[in-house]
Amino acid sequence: MPSRTTLQAVLFDMDGTLVDTEGLWWQAAEEEARQLGLTLSDADVPDVLGRAVEHTAAHLHGISDGAKSEASIAAALDHRFVELVSQQVVPLPGALELLDGLADAGIRTALVSASPRHVVDLVLDALGRRRFATSFAAGETPQTKPAPDPYLAAVHALGASPEGCVAVEDTPTGVASAEAAGVAVVAVPSLTPIAPGPGRAVVRSLLDVDLSLLQRLLDSAAA
């Protein structure tokens, strides 16, 4: 029987996972698309949800045949998203309870986001900075999600090992990032379905996540 892997840390995505902002990001992208004479559809989801502003700006620039520069699209997206977040930062059901339960158990946590630092700081202030040992935002690692860099950086900053960590994510892009870093994943799908898989559990909400589930996931990943 393989030895048990101790849960060392839990690494949380931000938008759509801890706070209800994934819909706000989609709203910001939809509004900018309309300014460009476009209507977003399900085909655009992989280039919007879980993506950094630069990626979504490049996508909108491309499908609008360069109607505006990437830089101006990115600035508009960022401005509108910050505006929406500052008005509507709402922790998702179970988020604060899970974070506090992990703290009570001595489990460290990190925030790993594809949003820019000023948006991450808005959310950290709303959730309580004391709840996180470290955080990473877009531009603070060589590559952002779906590359493994943000999760590897968080694991390193916590002095943990990938096999001792679990990531909590809501998009396929984020899941790909965490799994590329060798981290097991609890997926809480927001706007896009995510299938279960090896080293991956899929739940309906954070209310379904507890220490027992996290440890069982590590045990199954090590089996």
Contacts with 155 (C-beta within 8 Å, 6 or more apart), sequence order: 9, 11, 161, 162, 165, 181, 183
Based on the residue annotation, tell me whether 208 is a catalytic residue of this protein.
no
| CA 26 centroid distance within chain | 14
Task: List C-alpha distances in Å: 131 to 3, 13, 86, 160, 194.
Answer: 30, 14, 20, 18, 27
Question: Cα(176)–Cα(182) distance, rounded to whole angstroms?
Answer: 10
Structure tokens at 166: 């679990």
Torsion (CA) 79, 143, 165, 183 in degrees, nearest 10: 120
Catalytic residue among 13, 47, 78, 170: 13
Based on the residue annotation, tell me whether 13 is a catalytic residue of this protein.
yes
Task: List C-alpha distances in Å: 28 to 23, 37, 100, 146.
Answer: 9, 14, 31, 21
Q: In terms of residues, how long is the chain?
A: 223
Do residues 181 and 11 lie in contact, with contact meaning Cβ atoms separated by under 8 Å? no
Q: List active site positions.
A: 13, 15
